[in-house]
Amino acid sequence: MAGADAGKAQDLPRLRLTQLKLFHFRNWGVHALKLDGRHVVLTGENGAGKTNLMEAVSLLSPGRGLRRASYGDMLQASTANGFAIHADLETPNGPFEIGTAVAAPNSEETGAQRRISINGAPAKTADALLEVLRVVWLTPAMDGLFTGAAGDRRRSRDRMVLAIAPAQGRGAAAYERALRGRNRLLAEDRPDPRWLDAVEAQIAELGIAIAAARDEVVQLLAAMIGRAGDTGPFPAADIAILRPAEEADPDGAAVEREERLRHALREGRTRDRMAGRTLCGPHRHDLSIRHRQKAMDAAMCSTGEQKALLIGLVLAHARLTGELSGLPPLLLLDEIAAHLDAGRRAALFDLVCSLGGQCFMTGTDRDLFAALGGRAQYFTVSAGTATETM
């Protein structure tokens, strides 16, 4: 008890959930967690619902959450009435209430959309959530970032950009719509070249703006990693955007870059028609990640080195997000401690506490979180219920 009291006496995270309510989300029925503002540790057996709860918290941000699942998959199997998530939040900008809900399963087929409310008022778009809080996460599935498909790296990169530059979400959506329009035109027997010229001009304008925002965020993240130095508990990552040679001039004037991309799109029409998709543009750019101390591509590092490298990268991004937005991020770390030795676990928890935002962590063994002491509130999760433990 003395350790818990000492932890409560310390400064609480400046951004924190004080209550989380789940209604028929995955294996959770109707359940409320009362939170005292400290970090949150969820322990229990595999399949108990720990990651499901973390996924629910991740839906307090735009997008499909940390699993990128369909709404139908998120619905509790025993009900057909949809799901809802409600959170009470304390932030540097004051208290907020956030609600998000989907009314029915298979919403992709029926056309239903996720509904969001902030302080009881409907939000026009999910991007409104980014004015209240930013959510950053690390899950075991992200361990494949270095060796998996380029699409996984692109999604991770774009999620990092969105947390720092929310306006890019609207530009990215418009860019994707323009790409789909071009692909449909190319599929026609005799596409009108004037329509293609128009949509390619739009793709070039939007694409170069998106690429510039990505470049800026990657440069800022590299600078943040540089500030931490090379002697911390987690290795430093050297990161860069990889693009084709014809698009490899990120410092050129925007109008010149747009013209080069328009030219590449025109020249690639026959190729893209045969491929059924657009094969040039920033949606094809990849992300390079290297282990700085070893001067080695991350894909060539050991599994343990990749895990440590990824943790360092996510923590640097969380710190950058907080500094640029003025909102310490809500951090979700799923099964984070299992593959770290005691020294690195303690260092991780200290770094998490220094970020200023609340952190949710999961694991099967509470002993792995001993170094957190009273800085966290502990829950045992079993069959979609959570019980606080001392």
Round to whole Å and give the CA distance between 217 and 269. Answer: 31
Which residue matches tokens 């998000």?
100
How much is the pTM? 0.88
- What is the DSSP secondary structure assignment for residue 280, as one 8-state letter? S
Question: Mean pLDDT, to the nearest integer, of 96-100?
Answer: 97
Residue 110 in this model has a pLDDT that exceeds 60: no
pLDDT digits (tens, 9 = 90+) for 77-92: 766 678 999 999 999 9
Higher pLDDT, 254 or 69: 69
CA angle 172, 173, 177 (to 5 degrees): 115
Residue 19 in this model has a pLDDT that exceeds 90: yes
Mark 21-54 as b/e (b = at least 16 C-beta within 10 Å).
bbbbbbbbeebebebebbbbbbbbeeebbbbbbb
CA angle 207, 209, 210 (to 5 degrees): 65
